[in-house]
């Protein structure tokens, strides 16, 4: 059974009604369980659960301590290019937005890599826009070869690929795949992606699974919260997706991200507002549902919120972040994909992590 | 007893309302078997196949098994996959139906099942249309192999056969319940009704109990006790246990207090 | 002729059917299942199965088990 089959089982579920029907006693029962079902997870995303965050936090904290201890893994994104052939209506890289487009040369990439490596980071996430003809698989592969001289782990967050393409990149040094479905709502997805290769919902939906089959060591899924009018829908299906992958590909380490929409060029109005409280609720619910998935909270979130979320289930955070091409060696951020809320350097992040009683981790993986 | 008609256990197309499986071994007299079937409410019963001893007249256990029981022949005595497959085919030829409990044991000291040979036999027999219930260690990797091999259920041991030591493999069985989509039936080791109840509360699909009933002081009464324990455990699982109060009301919110002003 | 029955050598007259052999040895034919040279013989075929020299028979019956 593929993931889309699993998704379609929930076609008839009236999620808003289900969420409204959850009582505090239901939430207590879920919290008393050792392992919970998908519908239990949904219950933890309900308004009733929003009033019980401390109890959820205690449980999530206990699970996180057992599985991860007091550690936060650090990484930084590196934007290789911002060429894009899509018109994702919510994105700053949208081809309709008149921004300067560029792609790093090998020489520029080395300068970026050196600047990042000097901070001590060993895990890197490379990104491009969705332009397979410009930022080709071969180009990304060549960049990975260069970056593997500087970093022990390279993840990609690029357009959806075939299994063979993922295998090719693994051969070039890539070991992680991050790919957000943006929204699991098929018709909304079509509206939000009016043009370009990304319009193919199913090809993107199955891409994380193809990454698992190709042999990626870590696969990170997520949805862009705020696109759906009921944010819990995408939050629920993201959890379901991670659970599906974890069960089917137990050798792959599955991770999950809860990105919230932030302001950017193009000014798209979110369909729902996910409050700080809701974001915390979501991360707690994810940890209680999926004991050992990685959870990444990006610099879309504020320093204060990120610091407070460390004990609640978060395992991975970015530091020294720029979302502009060449941003690690230039101050020009006019081409950024989105504005960041936590501009702290790697050093500053380390001090913040340590002051919370946690240990910053620079390297926990290096392929043979 | 309030019947929960929506809670049937379906295995191999057979719908079972009782989640207690019983056996026919170790009884002082086989004539008590019908009474145990009645008192326990069990609908599935195991039998074994052995070479006929033409020099000694042995009774036919089959004549004591009520007609409504689903027979579950086991392959006990098999030391490898090949022998298990032969025994299964013989059992089917004898008119026992398509159900088979695979039991492959080559270690006579501990009587622990051989997961590799069991998976091999499961694959062959599932392809031949058997409803295969393999008896194995409570091991996630073996259980996954059995899923892929076409098993109808997975039967992890609670403790070594006949030890009556209870649910020693509890944490491992819990992992199987969480991770494996097939019914998990705890087989072997259960010595008391409370232990069967515990397995059912955790979410086991059924329990197979033989020695603890057959070798008890009163098998009919013990069969009834196990039947009730399994029902109680199942009902508790379905009802979902309530939260355990820590007994200390705490108004402060050490982990989420930062959200207070938002 | 010579047979191997349940692992032991047994002598038997030529042209004996399986049914005759079982009945001659006091076996309740309704309660057993037989494997001849590793192939299962169904009860309907007991009477028409003629034994040959060197045949290997397994005669089994159900017993109590868990």
What phi, psi does B247 have (nearest 5°)? Answer: 80, -5
Residue of B nearest to A289 (CA): B178
Write the pLDDT tens digit of every residue in A236-286.
999 999 999 999 999 999 999 999 886 555 567 888 889 999 999 999 999
Contact assignment for B253 to A276 by CB distance below 8 Å: no
Q: Which positions in chain B touch A280 (Cβ < 8 Å)?
A: 256, 259
Instruction: Answer yes or no: is pLDDT of B248 > 60.
Output: no
The helix (H) or strand (E) run that includes residue A48 is helix A47-50
Neighbours of A333 (CB within 10 A): 14
pLDDT of residue B243: 60
Residue A38 belongs to domain with CATH number: 3.20.20.70
The whole-model pTM stands at 0.77
Contact assignment for A280 to B259 by CB distance below 8 Å: yes
The answer to whether residue A368 is domain-embedded is: no
Contact assignment for A54 to B241 by CB distance below 8 Å: no
Contact assignment for B243 to A312 by CB distance below 8 Å: no
The answer to whether residue B236 is domain-embedded is: yes
Residue A343 sits in which domain range? 3-361
pLDDT of residue B1: 40
Q: What is the dihedral of CA A307, A311, A315, A319, to 10 degrees?
A: 10
B136 vs chain C: nearest CA distance in angstroms?
14
Q: Taking residues A118-136, what's their average pLDDT? A: 92
Query: CA–CA separation, A325 vs A323, rounded Å?
Result: 7
The answer to whether residue B182 neighbours chain C at the CB level (below 8 Å) is no
Tell me the pLDDT of chain B averaged across its residues. 90
Q: Taking residues C15-31, what's their average pLDDT? A: 89
Q: Which positions in chain B touch A276 (Cβ < 8 Å)?
A: 259, 262
Q: How many CB pairs under 8 A join B and C?
A: 91
Instruction: Give A254 or A340, the one with higher predicted confidence.
Output: A254
The answer to whether residue A367 is domain-embedded is: no
Q: Which positions in chain A touch B255 (Cβ < 8 Å)?
A: 54, 57-58, 61, 311-312
DSSP annotation string for chain B: ----TT--EEETTEEES--EEE--SS-S-GGGHHHHHHHH---EEEEEEEE--TTS----GGGGS-TTSEEEEB-TTB-SHHHHHHHHHHHHHTT--SEEEE-B---TTT----HHHHHHHHHHHHHTT-EEEEEE-S-HHHHHHHHHHT-S-BEEBSSSTT-----TTHHHHHHHHHH-SS-BEEES---SHHHHHHHHHHT-SEEEESHHHHTSS-HHHHHHHHHHHHHHHHHHHHH-PPPPP-S------TTTGGGTT-
Report residue A327's pLDDT band, with 50, 70 and 90 as the boundaries: confident
pLDDT of residue A150: 95
Whether B47 contacts B24, CB under 8 Å = yes
Residue B108 belongs to domain with CATH number: 3.20.20.70
Chains meeting B at 3+ CB pairs closer than 8 A? A, C
Report residue B242's pLDDT band, with 50, 70 and 90 as the boundaries: low
pLDDT of residue B2: 45
pLDDT of residue C17: 93
Catalytic residue among B101, B109, B127, B170: B101
Residue of A nearest to B180 (CA): A247
Instruction: Answer yes or no: is pLDDT of A297 > 50.
Output: yes
Which of B240, B241, B256 lies nearest to residue A53, judging by beta carbons? B256
The answer to whether residue A86 is domain-embedded is: yes
Quick check: is B109 catalytic?
no
pLDDT of residue B107: 87
Q: Which positions in chain B touch C28 (Cβ < 8 Å)?
A: 60
Which of C26, C40, C66 lies nearest to residue B93, judging by beta carbons? C40
How many domains are there within chain B? 1
Q: Which positions in chain B touch C38 (Cβ < 8 Å)?
A: 86
Interface ipTM above 0.95 = no
Instruction: Cite the beta strand spans of A102-148 per DSSP E.
Output: 123-127
Instruction: Answer yes or no: is pLDDT of B253 > 90.
Output: no
Residue of C nearest to B22 (CA): C66
Contact assignment for A33 to B262 by CB distance below 8 Å: no
Q: Taking residues A316-341, what's their average pLDDT? A: 82
Instruction: Answer yes or no: is pLDDT of A96 > 80.
Output: no
Write the pLDDT tens digit of every residue in C33-42.
999 999 999 8
Report residue B121's pLDDT band, with 50, 70 and 90 as the boundaries: very high
Burial of A272 (0-12, 13-18, 19+ CB in 10 A): middle
Contact assignment for C63 to B74 by CB distance below 8 Å: no
The answer to whether residue B249 neighbours chain A at the CB level (below 8 Å) is no
To the nearest 10 degrees (0 to 180), the angle between helices A24-32 and A53-68 is: 20
The answer to whether residue B122 is domain-embedded is: yes
Report CA-CA distances (Å) from A355 to A63, C35, C52: 21, 75, 88
Pick the residue of A6, A32, A282, A310 with the most B CBs within 10 A to test the interface with B by mutation. A32
Domain ranges of chain C: 2-61
Instruction: Answer yes or no: is pLDDT of A103 > 60.
Output: yes
CATH code that applies to domain C2-61: 3.10.20.30
How many domains are there within chain A? 1
pLDDT of residue B111: 86
Report residue B3's pLDDT band, with 50, 70 and 90 as the boundaries: very low
The answer to whether residue A319 is domain-embedded is: yes
In this prediction, what percent of chain A has a pLDDT beyond 90? 74
Which of B26, B89, B188 lies nearest to residue C64, judging by beta carbons? B26
The answer to whether residue B62 neighbours chain C at the CB level (below 8 Å) is yes
Query: CA–CA separation, A155 vs A122, rounded Å?
Result: 11
pLDDT of residue B262: 44
């Amino acid at each position: 059974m593929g993931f889309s089959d699993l998704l379609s089982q929930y076609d008839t579920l009236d999620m808003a009604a289900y969420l409204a029907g959850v009582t505090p006693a239901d939430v207590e029962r879920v919290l008393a369980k050792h392992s919970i079902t998908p519908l239990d997870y949904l219950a933890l995303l309900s308004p009733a659960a929003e009033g019980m965050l401390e109890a959820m936090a205690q449980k999530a904290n206990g699970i996180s301590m057992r599985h991860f201890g007091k550690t936060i893994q650090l990484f930084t994104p590196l934007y290789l290019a911002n060429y894009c052939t899509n018109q994702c209506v919510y994105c700053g890289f949208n081809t309709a937005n008149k921004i300067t487009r560029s792609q790093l040369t090998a020489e520029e990439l080395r300068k970026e890599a050196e600047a990042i490596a000097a901070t001590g980071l060993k895990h890197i996430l490379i990104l491009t826009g969705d332009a397979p003809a410009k930022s080709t698989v071969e180009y990304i592969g060549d960049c990975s070869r260069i970056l593997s001289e500087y970093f022990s782990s390279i993840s990609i967050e690029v357009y959806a690929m075939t299994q063979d393409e993922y295998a090719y990149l693994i051969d070039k040094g890539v070991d992680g795949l991050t790919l957000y479905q943006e929204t699991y709502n098929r018709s909304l997805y079509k509206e939000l992606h009016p043009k370009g290769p990304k319009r193919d919902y199913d090809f993107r939906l199955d891409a994380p699974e193809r990454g698992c089959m190709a042999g990626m060591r870590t696969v990170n899924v997520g949805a862009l919260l705020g696109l759906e009018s009921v944010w819990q829908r995408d939050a629920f299906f993201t959890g379901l997706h991670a659970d599906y992958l974890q069960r089917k590909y137990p050798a792959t380490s599955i991770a999950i991200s809860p990105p919230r929409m932030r302001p950017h060029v193009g000014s798209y109005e979110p369909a729902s507002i996910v409050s700080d409280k809701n974001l915390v609720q979501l991360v707690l619910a994810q940890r209680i549902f999926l004991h050992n998935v990685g959870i990444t909270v990006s610099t879309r979130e504020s320093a204060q919120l990120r610091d407070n979320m460390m004990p609640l289930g978060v395992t991975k955070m970015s530091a020294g972040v720029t979302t502009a091409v060449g941003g690690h060696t230039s101050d020009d951020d006019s081409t950024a994909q989105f504005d960041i809320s936590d501009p702290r350097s790697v050093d500053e992040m380390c001090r913040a992590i340590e002051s919370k009683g946690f240990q910053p981790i620079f390297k926990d993986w290096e392929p043979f | 007893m309030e019947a929960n008609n929506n809670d049937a256990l379906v295995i191999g197309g057979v719908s079972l309302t009782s989640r207690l499986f019983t056996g026919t071994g170790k009884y002082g007299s086989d004539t008590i078997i019908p009474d145990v079937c009645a008192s326990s409410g069990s609908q599935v019963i195991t039998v074994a196949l052995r070479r006929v001893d033409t020099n000694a007249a042995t009774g036919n256990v089959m004549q004591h098994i009520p007609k409504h029981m689903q027979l579950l022949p086991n392959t006990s005595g098999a030391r490898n996959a090949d022998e298990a497959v032969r025994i299964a085919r013989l059992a089917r030829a004898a008119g026992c139906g398509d159900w088979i409990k695979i039991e492959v044991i080559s270690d006579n000291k501990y009587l622990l099942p051989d997961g590799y040979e069991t998976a091999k036999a499961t694959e062959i027999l599932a392809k031949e249309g058997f409803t295969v219930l393999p008896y194995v260690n409570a091991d996630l990797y073996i259980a996954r192999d059995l899923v892929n091999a076409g098993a109808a259920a997975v039967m992890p041991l609670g403790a070594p056969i006949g030890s009556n030591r209870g649910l020693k493999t509890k944490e491992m069985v819990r992992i199987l319940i969480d991770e494996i989509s097939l019914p998990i039936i705890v087989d072997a080791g259960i010595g008391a009704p409370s232990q069967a109840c515990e397995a059912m509360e955790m979410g086991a699909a059924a329990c197979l109990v033989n020695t603890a009933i057959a070798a008890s002081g009163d098998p009919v009464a013990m069969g009834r006790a196990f039947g009730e324990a399994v029902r109680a455990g199942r009902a508790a699982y379905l009802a979902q246990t309530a939260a355990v109060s820590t007994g200390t009301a705490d108004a402060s919110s050490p982990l989420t207090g930062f959200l207070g002003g938002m | 002729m010579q047979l191997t029955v349940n692992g032991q050598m047994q002598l038997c007259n030529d042209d004996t059917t399986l049914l005759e052999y079982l009945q001659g040895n006091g076996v309740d034919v309704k309660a057993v299942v037989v494997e001849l040279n590793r192939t299962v013989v169904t009860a309907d075929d007991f009477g028409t199965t003629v034994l040959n020299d060197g045949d290997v028979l397994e005669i089994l019956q159900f017993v109590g088990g868990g």
